[in-house]
Structure 1
Amino acid sequence: MNLFNLRRPAPKAVVEPRQMPQQPSTGNLMPKHNRATPVFVRGQGAWLWDDQGRACLDFTQGGGVNSLGHSPDALAAALANQAQALIQPGSAFHSPVLLTLASRLCQATASDQAYLLNTGAEACEGAIKLARKWGQRHRNGAYHIITASRGCHGRSLGTLSASDPTACSRCEPGVPGFSRVPFNDLAALHAAVDSRTVAIMLEPVQSEAGVIPATREYLQGVETLCRELGILLILDEVQTGLGRCGALLAEETYGVRADIVTLGKGLGGGVPLAALLARGAACCAEAGELQGSHHGNALMCAAGLTVLDTVLAPGFFDEVQDKGRHLREGLGRLAGRFGQGPIRGQALLWALPLKENLAPALVAAALQEGLLLNAPQPDVVRFTPALTVSRSNIDEMLQRLTRAFARLHARQQSRREMPA
């Protein structure tokens, strides 16, 4: 007799299926910054639709990330096609699309080398490492980097140290080797350079500080200063590159040329992609010295190629500049009507300064009008529409913003009239 056959089978453990929530909630999210209440389920061009079917006109586009707008057909097709072929071969290997994107970026920007990453912060971190490696080779070990007051270069440890906490509340110094001087002050910059200085790192337009452009004289003077003193010029174009300022790089609009350029945000058109570009002697990195996440996987690179092909099409930057003028004129009229401004910015990156710290309240009022805006500072509202935004989209935005101002003023008046 086989005793094993007499054993009763052990009862199967009953695993209760996890109950899925009827509606997605925020309960399992780790704290980030405060988010608005809508849950968006669909986007197309300049528009987003929430889970209640309400349409919102989006003039933030993820802070300029969605350079071609929401779910553009060309980008969706490129991602679908690449996903069927190859998503990620591993960071130790190349893919044809990665090599093609690096080559196209270098050709389009007159750069010599490109390194692909996921985020602008990683690109800026790489720029810091690259500059210090150059300092070891060419400037007796110089490592100090001068940045501008109110600058914001990312959220990694090194880039937080290069950023100014007064411009970005989440920036805190982390590592030594950085100093800040007033923006648009060439004399102060010159005075700060010493034998330890390896590079000057600037944004052509300080977007997080409230869209503060460098003057042409200042940025050209900085380039001249770097050449005369034998140090590197790093331009952080995470916010300004890929057509946001009416050219592939904002440096073109200023007539300058940096040694190192960082790109992010709009390069992926909404997916995580960034690039570090180096020119001339700044091409000094050796294998393994520039670390980052994934190093430009094939799927993201396919998106980058689509964005690059789109913005480099004949006449694209002319259209960006034309629509930028239309937006500037409309915002200027509206600012004058409500006693605000003056507006500042370039092409399709604009800020409307307010006389009081009412930007968050205006953003909230705009949301009630179905308009998405952003307040990088308490007294500044920022506009970063898709580069493909239409004139009719701009006109619609101005109408909704006018209603938001009226709503805000009515609320303020009501509070003034309330009895003590």
Structure 2
Amino acid sequence: MSVEHAQVQRTDFDQVMVPNYAPAGFIPVRGAGSRVWDQSGRELVDFAGGIAVNVLGHAHPALVGALTEQANKLWHVSNVFTNEPALRLAKKLVDATFAERAFFCNSGAEANEAAFKLARRVSHDLYGPEKYEIIAAVNSFHGRTLFTVNVGGQSKYSDGFGPKITGITHVAYNDLDALKAAVSDKTCAVVLEPVQGESGVIPADLAYLQGARQLCDEHKALLVFDEVQTGMGRSGQLFAYMHYGVIPDILTSAKSLGGGFPIAAMMTTEALAKHLTVGTHGTTYGGNPLACAVAEAVIDIVNTPQTLAGVVAKRALFQTRLEQIGQKYDLFTQVRGLGLLIGCVLTDAWKGKAKDIFNAAEKEGVMVLQAGPDVVRFAPSLVVTEEDINEGLDRFERAVAKLTQA
């Protein structure tokens, strides 16, 4: 049974939506795998993945099946009750990671909010109210709530919303000496992205994360890894901390966790989790059966040797071709990142032009991302086919060639 919908177009956005976004000029209406079609029927190759969300592409049969099956059973019961999909998903996450306990919510910001609240609560309970300071990295991104945007190290996102949340310090990323100088006995948590995503796809040095772990141990602080963008197979391991072999106290996951359905998780140990006693934190929709059923299907596919090995192989295809394009057009100084989170750093000649490249790519039928004005970012499906990789990068090269001639 199809329902007749009123016709809408891109210009309607400017009439009815709050203007905090500036969406592209076309409206995607359908996706299959790594291809997307817009209202006019034009087909694009999707290397943006909904900003590292569509980990299994669009309309993956296993996810459609899981959602449809659950939709016919139970949508919502609230946390007055538990539900089977939430328990199955939590078991799978616990079995696959360092964590012993999971808390489900709806977005990366909410997972980080829970992580930061937990860190402060643990220190408050164990060491008293003076130990509440959080250290994060300059140019980090941890969400848009008032707490998470203040922990994030980009003042352009946190300015203009009244007094800042106190007790938060920002130090240069990948600078262990700066971190050492900032940590004290008042520090309750050090918060890091194993790969800084929004600020340019910058992977942490191994020694940096190892040093952070050691500093936290010495100062009785908690190490929090924000794996909202790096988690669920994107690095070639289920979570990026496994790639480094550095184990956090608290881990946050979202984006790819639901493969496009909104869900997030904050994961930690039993000893720390017990500080969030009944009533200390909550969420109406968190852990709802629909989201958890989909996320369970995601982890069943992603956390397999074939999928994870595929990420590494596909990364190599992207790397080789992007480096060739970079050299041919004097476009990139470096192709960096982990797995299928790829950042291409623009040369001086192209500095500030990531948006121009994004627009030119779209005109040639390929969707890419920026990570700031100087980095072109790719975050495709982990199961993108070799054919789609080649076709998408052909289109990307055509876009670059046209820009060069312009």
Report the Cα distance in structure 1 between the residues aligned to 2:119 and 2:170, rounded to whole angstroms. Answer: 17
Report the Cα distance in structure 1 between the residues aligned to 2:66 and 2:321, rounded to whole angstroms. Answer: 35
Report the Cα distance in structure 2 between the residues aligned to 1:174 and 1:296, rounded to whole angstroms. Answer: 30
* Aligned Cα root-mean-square deviation (Å): 1.5
Equivalent residue, structure 1, for 2:209: 219
Is structure 2 residue 342 aligned with structure 1 residue 350?
A: yes
Report the Cα distance in structure 2 between the residues aligned to 1:85 and 1:183, rounded to whole angstroms. Answer: 46
Report the Cα distance in structure 2 between the residues aligned to 1:318 and 1:37, rounded to whole angstroms. Answer: 36
Is structure 2 residue 265 aligned with structure 1 residue 275?
A: yes
Task: Quote how far apart the aligned CAs of 1:335 are.
Answer: 1.0
Task: Quote how far apart the aligned CAs of 1:68 are.
Answer: 0.5
* Aligned residues of 2:329 and 2:404 also touching (Cα < 8 A): no
Equivalent residue, structure 1, for 2:229: 239
Q: Which sits farther off after the overlay, 350-359 or 126-135?
A: 350-359
Report the Cα distance in structure 2 between the residues aligned to 1:178 and 1:99, rounded to whole angstroms. Answer: 34
| CA deviation vs aligned residue, 1:45-68 (integer Å, no higher than 9, x gap) | 100001111000010011011111
Q: Normalized against structure 2, the TM-score is what?
A: 0.93
Task: Quote how far apart the aligned CAs of 1:247 are.
Answer: 0.6
Equivalent residue, structure 1, for 2:387: 392
Equivalent residue, structure 2, for 1:10: none
- The code of the aligned residue for 2:323 comes to G
- The code of the aligned residue for 2:338 comes to Q
Equivalent residue, structure 2, for 1:252: 242
- The code of the aligned residue for 2:108 comes to G
Report the Cα distance in structure 2 between the residues aligned to 1:157 and 1:204, rounded to whole angstroms. Answer: 23
Task: Quote how far apart the aligned CAs of 1:229 are.
Answer: 2.2
Task: Quote how far apart the aligned CAs of 1:315 are.
Answer: 2.2
Is structure 2 residue 170 aligned with structure 1 residue 170?
A: no
Equivalent residue, structure 1, for 2:291: 300
Equivalent residue, structure 1, for 2:363: 368
1:298-337 to 2 correspondence within 5 Å? 298-337=289-328
| CA deviation vs aligned residue, 1:123-163 (integer Å, no higher than 9, x gap) | 00000000011101223331101001110000111100101
* Aligned residues of 1:199 and 1:233 also touching (Cα < 8 A): yes
Report the Cα distance in structure 2 between the residues aligned to 1:346 and 1:112, rounded to whole angstroms. Answer: 26
For structure 1, which runs of at least 5 residues remain unmatched after alignment?
A: 1-19, 412-420
Q: Which sits farther off after the overlay, 388-397 or 355-364?
A: 388-397
Equivalent residue, structure 1, for 2:136: 147
Equivalent residue, structure 1, for 2:111: 123
Task: Quote how far apart the aligned CAs of 1:393 are.
Answer: 1.5
Report the Cα distance in structure 1 between the residues aligned to 2:147 and 2:35, rounded to whole angstroms. Answer: 36
Q: Normalized against structure 1, the TM-score is what?
A: 0.90
Relative to structure 1, the CA distance from residue 314 to residue 354 in structure 2 (aligned partners, 3 Å threshold; closer, same or farther) is closer
Q: Which sits farther off after the overlay, 235-244 or 315-324?
A: 315-324
Report the Cα distance in structure 1 between the residues aligned to 2:315 and 2:269, rounded to whole angstroms. Answer: 30
Equivalent residue, structure 2, for 1:263: 253
Aligned match of 1:189 in 179, 198, 216? 179
Task: Quote how far apart the aligned CAs of 1:182 are.
Answer: 0.5
Partner SS, residue 77 of structure 1: helix
Aligned match of 2:50 in 17, 37, 62? 62
Partner SS, residue 16 of structure 2: coil
Partner SS, residue 85 of structure 1: coil
Is structure 2 residue 36 aligned with structure 1 residue 48?
A: yes
Report the Cα distance in structure 1 between the residues aligned to 2:7 and 2:305, rounded to whole angstroms. Answer: 48
| CA deviation vs aligned residue, 1:271-319 (integer Å, no higher than 9, x gap) | 1000000125322211121233411110010011000101122322111
Report the Cα distance in structure 1 between the residues aligned to 2:284 and 2:367, rounded to whole angstroms. Answer: 31
Task: Quote how far apart the aligned CAs of 1:394 are.
Answer: 1.5
Task: Quote how far apart the aligned CAs of 1:28 are.
Answer: 1.5
1:65-144 to 2 correspondence within 5 Å? 65-141=53-129, 142-144=131-133
Is structure 2 residue 209 aligned with structure 1 residue 207?
A: no
* Aligned residues of 1:147 and 1:181 also touching (Cα < 8 A): yes
* Aligned residues of 2:78 and 2:284 also touching (Cα < 8 A): no
| CA deviation vs aligned residue, 1:82-124 (integer Å, no higher than 9, x gap) | 0000010123211111111111111111311100000000000
For structure 2, which runs of at least 5 residues remain unmatched after alignment?
A: none
Partner SS, residue 157 of structure 2: coil
| CA deviation vs aligned residue, 1:350-377 (integer Å, no higher than 9, x gap) | 0111121111001100011001111121
